[in-house]
Structure 1
Amino acid sequence: MGAEAEERPHGAAVVVDGFGLKGPRGWAFREVSFRAGPGTLVAIEGPSGSGRTCLLLALTGRMKAKEGTAEVGGLPLPKKMAAVRRISALGHVPGVSELDPAFTVAEHLGERAMLQRRFDGSVRTFLRRPSERRAAARARIDEAVAAAGLDLDALPKGERTSVRDLERLEALRLSIALALIGRPRLLAVDDADLKLSDADRAEAWALLRSVADSGTTVVAVCSEAPEDALRITTLAAAATATAPAPATEARAEDSEDAEDAAGAPGDGDKAGRGDKAGRGDKAGRGDTAGSAGTAGSTDKADKPAGDLTEDTTEEGAADALAETGRA
């Protein structure tokens, strides 16, 4: 009973105050502030290039912020980036944690369970009999697959279905199942509603909502957030964080052209093919509280005429992502 209690998921509270990340050509995001309790569904919405993915990666300890503070599960960022990576996991993040199209569903699940046991298992795990270890791994896989709503029997070839043959929603469910094998306290998903029909989009949000309801804090990037999520809106000049009901907003401060430090990615813990994500164990449930936040506005008035470096949010986000391996 005690061992099961230790492994039971409990979510990570997220507290962000004046958070900002700057690349060589400008701010990817700036002055982002919000609070989310354990088990909250946080939706980061905005147009492509507005720093959404950079914010997602910074909150999971995979990119280093340049200003402001944040805490995930009581762990301060950017000071404890490695520790945050251990309690968080990435679902679908293009260019960072992608599924291998040549792998089958079973191969992805088996590899992730093996790596989870190898890198995150306790010493007691290695003292178990091989049959017990296999049974424990299978139990974790079944638990994660069920939580992600992935019906293996409904796939064209069952577990032997290749990733390239999966529909977009099925691939999203698989990526979430892989992340949940590590029982993270925080789950991060990029492009949660990309290329989905209205019906599939509703299913995707229902899935993420159910993961949050089970106790794991969920942060998802999207083009349009659902009304019941804690909404963080990023724009080319500003971003606002709103609770599910009333919205508050704050203006972004002008960026300083003299600053040119790049946002460096954190050292990712590898959790499976294409996933540099750290995994966590434990996850739970709590209340949410949203406040205001803003992301990068710029001031080009003082730039010399010959300076071709523009301090824009879109370019800053592109540069910061390029440093994580996503051009």
Structure 2
Amino acid sequence: MGFLYSLFGGAPTKYDAQKYFDYAEKQKAKGNIVEALSYYAKVINHGDLGVKPFVPYIELCMEHDEWKKLPDCIKVYRKRFPKENSGWIDKIEKETIEQLRRQGLLPIEVKEQQNPKEPKICSSNPKTADSPKGEKKEQQKKPFVLTFPTNIKHPTLGERYDEYCASLPPFDFYEGDNEDKIPADADMEINDYLNRLADTLAYCRDVEKKQGFVAAEQYYLFLIGHHPWEPDAYDELLELYRNNGKNDAFEALRLYSIDHFSKRRERMERQLTALAEQQRVKEVATEAIRKGEKVSYFRGLFTLYDPFPCIEHWKRLMPIFSGSE
């Protein structure tokens, strides 16, 4: 069904910022407000298209009395664009507070912020009195921790892939097209790793389609626990968490993914720089790293250095804010 919806102009089946935005615009024009808000929110949460999706989202909320959706949206906007001229969002925030008070969703007695230029959303719960002496204060909520399946064995698929790549003759900056150094079975070995990764990811998608979120989550975690060297599995589980409202798990996986690929990028950078220094062409490696360019092994068999733009993408991502699902 997803393919047919996509073919005949329905909802996009895979995230694309502009397509999601365009679809939201069409739903807005048709009067499908819930659907429009949902897709504007998805673009906002991914951190794409800048201020663009915020404006119609906020306007729709105001037009259709969805004021309770706005505080979290405004909070995301301020975090995303701290240096932007905030005059218009200040006005929106002030009106939102007034509307929420009228609806009894904010306490009337809450005082206005001392600095009218930078109003903040007031807490919906009045501050409680301090606990009596001797009574233990409520402990802070523990951060969510990802739990990977216990049947993952080392070396993992990703570790074996890295070990095999490291076993091949070092790349020669002077003779980058010298194929004589590559073992005859290298293509077959690399393709075997790529096929295993692709097949496992396809299986995860199939489980998600046929068995749903709970089963698919475990398969995606199993694959991610094998340290795949491409970001696809991480992206798909993040989207799965987002779509199912698992914000704690989403945030834990987002931070895990950023950390994992940042360390991988740093390791690749050190290895590439050391190799270039040995061949007295350090400036070549330094320039490639500075420009954020990929550096490939002979014939592009695998990647020696990858800037991993997915890291910056994940840093912009935020879980779905309340009321936007």
> TM-score range with shorter-chain normalisation?
under 0.3
- Work out which of the two has the higher radius of gyration on C-alpha atoms and give 1 or 2: 2
Please, what TM-score do these two structures have when normalized by structure 1? 0.23
Higher strand share: 1
